[in-house]
Structure formats: C-alpha cells, structure tokens
Chains A and B, each alone.
Chain A
C-alpha cells in the first residue's frame, strides 16, 4: 500500500512513478488499492454546503465588530471553572436532595446548558507590573487603555497576549513605550527614559520624534549629554534628516502604516521582515550595532540570540521584496532562481506561481502564460492551479 500511496502523494521519482503505474495496470490488488485511495480522496473532497453571500457578509461584519470592540468585562477562565465547579456541586446536591429521584432527562438538560456556554479560548490577562524599590510611577486604567507614567526607577512588566482593542503604554516626559511584549524592563530617571530591554515579544519606543521597534532579546538605551547632543545636531544637519533634534535611529526599511516614514524599525528574529526592505533581518541587526553613532543618540544593543534565516528564506524574502517594490522582471528571475535552487522547499509552489504573476505584471504576457502552463504541468497538486489555469487561458 505504501508504494501506491507514495505514487498518489507524489513521493516517487519519475522512473519509480512510471514503473509503479505500469505495475498498477497488471496487478489487480494494487489497482484495487489505488481505487480505494481515489474513493477516499473523493469522499474528502465531496462538496459541502457553501456559505451564502448574506451569511458571509454577516460573518464579516460580526468579525470586524468583535475585532474593534473594546474588551468587555468577561468572566475569566478561572472564574468560569469556579462557576462550573459550583454548578456541579449544585447538581450533586440536588441529586442528594431528591434522593436519587432526579431523572436522567433533567441531568441532560442541566449538562446541556453547561455545554452551551461558549468556550473561553482567550483569557484577557492583567499585565503584571513589578516596580523596583525606588520606583515612582502612577497607573491609570480606562476602557481599553492601561497607562503607566514612570517618573523614576525601573518597572518589570510581564503580560500575556493583548486582547483586541487593548493597549498598554508606559510614558515618561520624553518617551512613550507601546508594550507589545510579554516581558520587558523599562528604566527612567527624573521622568526621562533611560532604557528598555525586551525579553519576549516586542516594544515600540517613541523617542525624540523617532519610533523604534525593539524585538525580543533587544535593548534600547537613551544617553543624555547636552554637549554631544549639540554635536549630534550639527552632524544630523549635514545628513538630510527631517528631525534635527535627534540623531537618527537604524537606517532600515521605510516604515509603513502608523509608523512614520522617518521611523526606524529594528526587527529581530521574532519580528516580521519588512517586505519593502532589501535588507534581510540579520543585516538590519548588524546595522543597529551603532559603530558610528554619536554617543548622544539613542543606542540599540543588538540582541544576542538572533536566528539567522536560511538561505532559502532569504532568497524567498528577497524575491517577495522585489514583487512588492514593483520590480517584476527582477522578481521573476529571483523566483525562477529560487525554484531551481530549492525545488523541495515548501515555498517552491508559491514561488513557481508568483513567477508567472510577476511576468504578467511586467507585461510579458506570453512568458506569463508559458510560466502558468509550466506550473500546471509540473505541479499537479499545486495550491494555485485554479489561478494558474485562468492565467494560462484554460
């Protein structure tokens, strides 16, 4: 059965596959196995009820409402367990009270009611703030926003995932730290930020007009020295920087969305690579070592444990970056290179398909059609066959 399965799953080489197909024509037992596998596959692929347009729209609206809704006070999982235990005790007590006369039907109803309670998959957890002995801070909590104003000392913050709409922000007189981390330490002195060290997750530091994202294992330190700051101003004036009050941060990729264009992002192993960046993550981290940065500038210490992406990942990310920048010809070449260099990679299917997309966007229609046809011919179980068929004009 294994060889028949292997043939079906595309795990045999061309020669083995051809040999096995010849064998199937002459062996009734193996042919029966193959038929069974086909029937099983057909059963799995048997059509299921599709969502109607109306139900799709309702679900869409509901999703966006849930995603934008501020966290409402909900019974925590711990409380739910307590309630459940109490209800169980109540049922047990009722059994005793009625002397075992309670019918099975009643039990079913009670249990069914419990079963109807939707599961709590995500529990909104409270951020844990542990101040140092000399810490001075105030904490304000309003709907969805947990804000700590740090005057002096250090805070160790530990929190689990953020619920939708929740924010946890630490402010000083000169900085704001948007905490997306699960563990980090923030230090301040006389109301001014001194350092941020992230153990897990990420934190976004807004300081002197710049924004920096500190990845897991990374740290950030601001050093204040008026004299050097003045020298820094002179230096930054020579550089076409829009913000003369601060020396810049890491010259990484142009930031997107709410991060300003002059913002700099340091993304480590846990961060998502910026698609518009030419520079792989590890190179960004190398640049963040600040060999030539004036001492007054906010400095970033590169996190020691940096996971270096594989050559395949870098090649794929490079090709994706070209696609997003609109360098379609370059992108097609890179995806072609990727497919030929890493044919067994899990992303080879995407790369092969995206090559056709890139060629089409480059206006090389005939080549795009040929690429789509090649995709269809070489990837019988490809994930993008439907799109490729449209592209090939089938």
Chain B
C-alpha cells in the first residue's frame, strides 16, 4: 500500500463518502469497511421495508456493498452515499425478481400460500390487527410502488431525489406514490377503521 494510501486510511473515519468511494474505486478495501459501518443499518432498514418478501435481506445488503465496489467510480460525489447504495439495492431487487419470477410462480403453484383468515368486524377494530393488515397490504404492493413509498415516507426523500435514484421521471414517482397510497387507503377502508 502506498504511503499516501496509508495516510489516508489512518484517518479514514474522517473521510467523506466520496473520498471513501474514490479509494474503493482505486482498489482499496479498507474504506469499504468504513462505508459498511456507516450505511449498513440504514440500508438494511430500507430493504426491510422495500423488500418485505425477500427472506435474505442481509445477503442483499452484502450484494449491494459488493456491487458498490465495482460501481464506485460512477459515484457522483454527493455528500451521502446512501442514495447511491439504495439505487444499487433497487437494481439488485429488480434483477433478483426477474431471475426468480418464473420459478417463484412454479413454486407457488405447488406450495399453497397461506390465506389470510377472514376476520370479523370486531377483530378489525383492534388496532394491532389493523396495523397487521396495513403491513400485509404494504407487502402486497408492487415493488415499484413500495420502493417509492418507502423512499418518500421512511427515508424522507423528495420526488426529484427518488426520480434520480430510480432513473424515472418525477411524474412517474408521484404517480406510483399516489397509487400506493390509494391502494393502502382501500385496505384501511375495507378494514373498517
């Protein structure tokens, strides 16, 4: 390792995300650990919400960071690398979905999915059950709608930021967000409030 790199690593914790990713792009792996420490939990929390049907969220988090090492050179230098990592995670989710969609359909045909029990109006009054219904409804949203919803409601991102991460027009972001909320509102209304 060059003296410059050693010096840089000695105070790596003080480096900005852009500097860390630049070092990673140059082949250093020490900064990857720093980046992981910074964004492991935020990214994991994002994926737990954006991909509730994915069993191996921790594996997806690791894949995201591994992919980030290869894509580090394309980081645009902004202050936080979280949107960059979220963009990678979203692409991995899409790819994983494409890869498994056919097998999943076949698998589902053999394994009967557990059906939600019909609940009485009295049960619906219970707030915990309503919460469970809402969470189930969020899990049933399409990935596109759910990811936008999570980015806006959980990560507090603006429409233009989400559009930049997903590579879609801002109008598409607002539409997906509106559709997601409308779908969830219908669940709330069916739940009897």
Contact = CB atoms under 8 A, between A and B. Distances in A.
Interface stretch (A1-9, A169-177, A367-375): A1-9
Interface residues of B, number: 82
Nearest to B156: A381
Contact of B27 (A50, A258, A275, A317): A258
B188 A320 contact: no
Contacts of B178: 1-2, 5
A274 B19 CA distance: 9
19 contacts: A5-B181, A9-B158, A9-B159, A9-B177, A40-B185, A44-B49, A63-B32, A108-B111, A111-B106, A119-B99, A121-B63, A121-B99, A122-B67, A270-B73, A270-B74, A271-B73, A275-B16, A350-B78, A384-B80
Interface of B: 1-2, 4-5, 8, 16, 18-19, 21-23, 25-29, 32-33, 36-37, 40-41, 44-45, 48-49, 58-59, 61-63, 65-67, 69-70, 72-80, 82, 92, 95-96, 99-100, 103-104, 106-107, 110-111, 131, 134-135, 138, 149-150, 152-161, 164, 174, 177-178, 181-182, 184-185, 188
Contacts of A45: 153-154
B103 A256 contact: no
A145 to B, nearest CB: 13
Residue among B79, B152, B178 with the most chain A CB within 10 A? B79
A353 interface: yes
Given A164-B69, A257-B23, A384-B80, 5 more contacts: A9-B174, A36-B188, A44-B153, A67-B66, A381-B156
A320 B77 contact: yes
Interface stretch (A16-24, A54-62, A92-100, A129-137): A54-62
Contacts of B37: 56, 60
A364 interface: no
A37 B152 CA distance: 12
A67 B40 contact: no
A261 interface: yes
Contacts, number: 202
A297 interface: no
Contact of A256 (B26, B75, B174): B26
B27 to A, nearest CB: 6
Interface in A325-356: 344-347, 349-350, 353-354
A46 interface: yes
B156 A115 contact: no
B45 to A, nearest CB: 6
A59 B61 contact: yes
Q: How large is the interface on A (under 10, 10 to 19, 20 to 34, 35 or more residues)?
A: 35 or more
B153 A68 contact: no
Contacts of A37: 181
A142 B21 CA distance: 28
Nearest to B162: A346
Interface string A253-274: 0001111110000000011111
User: Lowest 9 CB-CB distances: which A-B pairs, in order?
Assistant: A257-B26, A350-B79, A381-B156, A44-B153, A48-B48, A43-B134, A41-B153, A346-B160, A346-B161
Given A63-B66, A111-B106, A258-B26, A121 B36 contact: no
Contact of A383 (B40, B73, B76, B80): B80
A316 interface: yes
Given A44-B149, A273-B77, A111 B107 contact: yes
Contact of B40 (A59, A68, A121, A162): A59
B33 A60 contact: yes
A192 interface: no
B74 to A, nearest CB: 7
A63 B62 contact: yes
B22 A36 contact: no
Contacts of B33: 60, 63-64
B75 A272 contact: yes
Contacts of A55: 58
Given A66-B62, A114-B103, A383 B41 contact: no
